[in-house]
Amino acid sequence: MAWQSVVFDPSKMASASVDVSSELVAHWLANGELPPALVTGHKLIDFEHCFLLSIIADLRRVCSNYTGQSDCGTCSDDLQGQCESLVVGMLGDLFAFILDHFKTEEAVMRESLLLMVDRNICEAHMEDHAAISSKVQEIVSSLDSRHVVARIRELDALLTRWLVNHIALHDQILMRWISRDDSMHKHL
């Protein structure tokens, strides 16, 4: 298996395509299922990726103009407080989800023996997990009621890159490994 080190780069978040993620979220909302490009074939991991799409959809509903509004200064103090409360709750759910999801994937790496067979691939995957977690923590620590909409955009870009890049690269490699004929995890 050829190894390619690709780790999430927060500096490239701004280039994440809102159109691509909008299509992914629209597909999920319309069909209640992952778009085919994101299906890994692992029931639990695919279910968790659906949850991630639902977080993106919910996040986008917090502010009706999250892509066009520079800050929350034009909103009333009450509305700013409501938006901040909603985003704080979502961030708590997101962070708990991230920890559980990454734990699940890393357990699959260990149990499928991929970690022993190709440590470099697994380390790159886990480094990406650490970078994503770190960026979420950074967004949490910078949250304030005047700039909630900016944090929504940052989270949207982060989660979009996770869906588009991390799943397509790291998760698909892991799933190809466990779908081998001799894998114990093939039927999970």
At 49-63, the pLDDT tens digits run: 888 888 888 888 899
Q: How does 132-158 read in b/e, with b if 16+ C-beta sit within 10 Å?
A: beebbeebbeebebebbbbbbbbbbbb
pLDDT at 181 (0 to 100): 60
Q: Is the pLDDT of residue 108 over 90?
A: no
Apex CA 55: angle with CA 61 and CA 62, to 5°?
20
pLDDT at 160 (0 to 100): 81
Mean pLDDT of 153-160: 88
Average per-residue pLDDT for the chain:
79
- Is 3.30.70.890 the CATH number for 18-64+76-178? no
| pLDDT confidence tier of residue 83, bands split at 50, 70 and 90 | very high
**Domain locations in the chain as residue ranges:** 18-64+76-178
Three-state helix/strand/coil letters over 21-85: HHHHHHHHHHHCCCCHHHCCCCHHHHHHHHHHHHHHHHHHHHCCCCCCCCCCCCCCHHHHHHHHH
Name the strand (E) or helix (H) holding 150.
Answer: helix 148-161
List, in order, residues 6 or more apart from 175 with CB less than 8 Å away: 40, 41, 42, 45
Mean pLDDT of 76-97: 91
Mean pLDDT of 85-89: 91
Contact 185, 109 (CB under 8 A): no
Helix (H, G, I), strand (E, B) or coil at 109: helix
* Residue 46, both tokens: 């695919």
Contact 127, 109 (CB under 8 A): no
Q: Is the pLDDT of residue 27 over 80?
A: no
- DSSP class of 16: S
pTM attached to this predicted model: 0.74
Q: Is the pLDDT of residue 28 over 90?
A: no
